C-alpha cells in the first residue's frame, strides 16, 4: 500500500494544478517575490500542466534572459532531483517492469555503462520527454551525482535559448515570432527526414 502513496499524491497535485492553471500562469507573470517564483517554477516543472518551454519563455520575457535562465535552470534541476529520488524508491519494481521489454536491455546497458554521456544527450534532444529521463535514471543504476551534473549541463542550452526568445518578444515581437516559426518548421523537416532515413534503413 505504501508504494501507492507517492503516485496518488502526485496525481492529486497534478489535478489541482491543472484546475487552477490559469490563475497559476497569471501569478507567474506578476509575482514580485523571487523565492516564491522559484518555488512555483519548480512546481510547474514537477507538475507539467504547461509545456515548460513556454514557462521558460515567460520567465525570459518577465525577468530578462539571464535571470529567467537562472530561475528556470534552478527550478528544473530541483524538480529533476525530486523525480529521480522518488523513482529510485521503486527501483526493484521498475527494473522488473523494464525487464519485460527485451528491446530495452541493450539501451539500459548503454545508459548504465555511459551514464553521463547518455543523460547529457537525452537532455539536449528536444524530442525526448524530460520527465521520462528523470524516471528512467531513477530506476536504473545511474549514480546520483553523475545524473545531477549531466542534467545541469544538458539543460543549459535549451533554457538559455527559450529564455532569450522570451526576452526578444519584449523589443522585437514580430521578428521573434518569425524566428520561432522558422525554428519549428526546421524541426519538423528534421524529424521528417529522420523518420524517412529510419524507414529506408529498415527496408
Q: Record the cell numbers describing residue 189, joined without a space.
A: 523537416
Per-chain mean pLDDT for the chain? 75
How do residues 94-135 score in pLDDT, each as one tens digit? 777 776 766 666 677 778 888 888 898 888 887 888 888 888
Q: How far apart are CA 96 and CA 155, in angstroms?
A: 29
**pTM passes above 0.85:** no
**44, 55 contact by CB (below 8 A):** yes
Q: Rounded to the nearest 5°, which phi and psi values hold at 83?
A: -65, -40
User: Domain segments of the chain: what residues?
Assistant: 2-171, 174-203
Q: How far apart are CA 88 and CA 137, in angstroms?
A: 8
**70, 104 contact by CB (below 8 A):** no
Instruction: Decide: helix, strand or coil at residue 50.
Output: coil
Count Cα atoms within 13 angstroms, Cβ side, for 59.
29
| Sequence-distant contacts of 29-38: CB under 8 A, at least 24 apart | 29/58, 29/62, 34/71, 37/71, 38/71, 38/74, 38/75
| pLDDT score recorded for residue 9 | 55
Name the residue among 160, 161, 155 with its Cα closest to residue 69.
Answer: 160
Q: Record the cell numbers describing residue 7, joined without a space.
A: 503516485
Tell me the C-alpha to C-alpha distance, in Å, between residue 184 and each of 49, 167, 179, 191.
21, 18, 9, 10
Give me the torsion for CA of 90, 130, 52, 57, rounded to 10°: 140
Confidence of residue 1 (pLDDT cuts 50, 70, 90): very low
Most confident of 23-27, 71-75, 134-138: 71-75
Average pLDDT over residues 39-52: 80
Amino acid at each position: 500500500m505504501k508504494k501507492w502513496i507517492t503516485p496518488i499524491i502526485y496525481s492529486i497535485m497534478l489535478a489541482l494544478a491543472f484546475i487552477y492553471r490559469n490563475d497559476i500562469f497569471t501569478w507567474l507573470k506578476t509575482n514580485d517575490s523571487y523565492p516564491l517564483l522559484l518555488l512555483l517554477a519548480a512546481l510547474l516543472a514537477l507538475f507539467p500542466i504547461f509545456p515548460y518551454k513556454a514557462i521558460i519563455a515567460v520567465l525570459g520575457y518577465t525577468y530578462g534572459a539571464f535571470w529567467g535562465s537562472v530561475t528556470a535552470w534552478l527550478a528544473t534541476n530541483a524538480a529533476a532531483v525530486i523525480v529521480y529520488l522518488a523513482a529510485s524508491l521503486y527501483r526493484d519494481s521498475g527494473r522488473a517492469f523494464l525487464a519485460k521489454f527485451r528491446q530495452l536491455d541493450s539501451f539500459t546497458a548503454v545508459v548504465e555503462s555511459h551514464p553521463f554521456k547518455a543523460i547529457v544527450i537525452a537532455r539536449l534532444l528536444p524530442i525526448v520527454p524530460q520527465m521520462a529521463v528523470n524516471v528512467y535514471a531513477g530506476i536504473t543504476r545511474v549514480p546520483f551525482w553523475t545524473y545531477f551534473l549531466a542534467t545541469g549541463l544538458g539543460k543549459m542550452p535549451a533554457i538559455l535559448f527559450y529564455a532569450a526568445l522570451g526576452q526578444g518578444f519584449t523589443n522585437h515581437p514580430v521578428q521573434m515570432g518569425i524566428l520561432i516559426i522558422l525554428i519549428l518548421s526546421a524541426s519538423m523537416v528534421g524529424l521528417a527526414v529522420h523518420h524517412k532515413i529510419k524507414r529506408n534503413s529498415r527496408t
